[in-house]
Structure 1
Amino acid sequence: MRCIIVDDEPIAREGIKLLVAEIPQLELLTSFNNAEDASVFIHDTTVDLIFLDINMPGINGIEFAHNIPRQTLIIFTTAYSQYALDSYEVDAIDYLVKPIDPVKFRKAVNKAIIYHSLLINEEKKRVDVEDEYILVKSDRKYFKVNLNEILFVEGLKDYVIIQMENQRIISRMTLKSIHELLPQSIFIRINRSYIINTKYIDSFDNNDVFIKNYEIGIGSSYREDFFKSIATNNALY
């Protein structure tokens, strides 16, 4: 699980880093001393778990938690036990009071790992992949969608919109989940919200890709991989 630490206290951040390092299932991406910078980071990077302090300058942990993706899990780490009730409002996995007990930390992480696995399995059940098409659940029915008819896939909070030339299908799942199931030699993620079918690229420049009548921006953190993929796979030919 890809995780980050958000805590304004340097000593607390270092302590959590040591605890994270003891658990092989966790990959620490980075840490932040404020919620504002963390918010910018998770906008462009998939994060599975956040170790989040509550009482911080600026945006506090509870406010920040209300605005993170549904699939990103939270373990609160705070010196103040009175915030425990507030943590339930954002469906936190657990609430750890500093100084953090290593045993309780491990138990909280184990709960997060189990719940993360359940989320992944739930999302994968919504899409069945065959060689040339996918079966997508939408509005209580399954739709057969030919891969070569997909122009792009757009992520919108907890939903994806599969855009074809004359039809769009909306399904409750994450963009990350459907990307993992699509052939990535053809389907490339070019920003936080879009996966495109490279076979339908009409043209592109340094900032945008043009498909039919659609103009889709290339995210700064995705730009290098996009151009590498185009060059490697000769995607336009």
Structure 2
Amino acid sequence: MNCIIVDDEPLAREELQNMVRESSQLEVIGIFSNALSALDFLKTNEVDLIFLDIEMPKVSGLEFAAQISGQTLIIFTTAYAQYALKSYELDAIDYLLKPIDPTRLEKAISKSIAYKTLLSESTKSTIEGSTADFLMVKSERRYYKIRFKDIRFIEGLKDYVVIYTQTQKLITAMNLKNIHQKIPSDLFLRVSKSYVVHVNHIDSFDNHTIYIGDFEIPIGEVYKNDFFDKYAGGTQLL
């Protein structure tokens, strides 16, 4: 899988390039100091993954990300934690804080490769329908019966959704809004632009994050009041 690095800080570009080169799973095909140069490159080159800084002159990383094709994955790299929620609203695959930890970087790379594989295998995937207690999902030449009780949460990624159960991840070409309309509203809550969670699988939460197993799911500002009203009796933590 190939990637490019976009960052206005020379030292940050060099450090990230050296770290990425340690991974045998990625090939760096471009390094850019600004978003405009990267946009020009994307016009004539197919890019699988972009490591993208946020605070850059002229065009910010957030503005740049809003213009990217759904087939290109984005990992934000920034020194500012306050952008985390906004990055997920732009369907970023991950969010890395500088200085970047090598173990955390490797985890983000592995997640990106897994998503890219799922996307390439799901060109014919659809949600075939739902009944009282399950969805039927078509993937390639197979149909999968997914019981609502087994769905831990659903993640939206541009024009696709990933359905997480205890044992598998299934990806299908549908947006999060449409699939949310096909599942029981008393069991599933939309908690951000990118996530719907099954309330019975929530292990814990705070004012900003829901924890399901090893997954940390951000709570969007637009959805926060609804989540606390329906799930926590309207009470937020002090």
Please classify the TM superposition score into its range, dividing by the shorter chain length. Answer: 0.5 to 0.7
- Unpaired runs of at least 5, structure 1: 127-157, 159-171, 173-237
1:72 match = 72
Identity of aligned residues (%): 58
Aligned to 1:2: 2
Q: Could you list the runs of 4 or more consecutive aligned residues of structure 1 that deviate by over 6 angstroms after TM superposition?
A: none
Which residue is 2:101 aligned to? Answer: 101
Secondary structure of 2:39 counterpart: helix
Residue matched to 2:41: 41
For 1:83, the equivalent position in structure 2 comes to 83
Partner of 1:110: 110
- State the 1:90 CA deviation: 1.0
Tell me which amino acid in the other structure corresponds to 2:70.
R
The residue type equivalent to 1:8 in the other structure is: D
Other structure's SS at 2:8 match = coil
User: In the alignment, residue 25 of structure 1 is paired with which amino acid?
Assistant: Q
Q: CA deviation at 1:62?
A: 0.4
Question: 1:53: which partner in 2?
Answer: 53
Residue 87 of structure 1 aligns to a residue whose secondary structure is helix
- RMSD after superposition: 2.2
**1:102-135: CA deviations, max 9, x gaps?**
0000001110000000000012669xxxxxxxxx
Aligned to 1:25: 25
In structure 2, the gaps of 5 or more residues are: 127-158, 160-172, 174-238
Aligned to 2:14: 14
Counterpart position of 1:119: 119
| Partner Cα separation in structure 1 for residue 15 and residue 41 of structure 2 | 22
Q: Write the distance in 2 (CA, Å) between the matches of 1:94 and 1:74.
A: 7
Distance 1:124 1:45, change over 3 A: farther
Amino acid paired to 1:55: E
State the match for 2:234 in structure 1. Answer: none
Matches of 2:105 and 2:119 in 1, distance apart? 21
Distance in 2 between the 1:45 and 1:70 partners? 15
Distance 1:76 1:109 in 2: 12
TM-score normalised by structure 2 residue count? 0.52
CA-to-partner distance for each residue in 1:47-98, whole Å, 9 max, x for gaps?
A: 0000000000010000000001101000000011111111011111111010
Q: 1:124 to 1:14 in 2, by over 3 A?
A: farther
Aligned AA (1:89): E
Question: Which entry has the higher C-alpha Rg, 1 or 2?
Answer: 1
1:3 aligned partner, one-letter code:
C
Mapping 1:177-188, distance limit 5 Å: none
Question: Taking structure 1 as the reference length, what is the TM-score of the superposition?
Answer: 0.52
Change (3 A) 1:57 1:22: same
* Amino acid of the structure 1 residue aligned with 2:74: I
Map 1:154-165 → 2, pairs under 5 A: none
Structure 2 distance, partners of 1:66, 1:123, is 23
Query: 1:45 & 1:18 partners in 2: Cα distance?
Result: 22
Count residues in correspondence.
131
Q: 2:43 & 2:69 partners in 1: Cα distance?
A: 9
Q: Deviations over 1:26-49 (max 9, x none)?
A: 010010000001001011100000
User: Deviation digits for residues 133-190 of structure 1, max 9, x if unmatched?
Assistant: xxxxxxxxxxxxxxxxxxxxxxxxx8xxxxxxxxxxxxx8xxxxxxxxxxxxxxxxxx
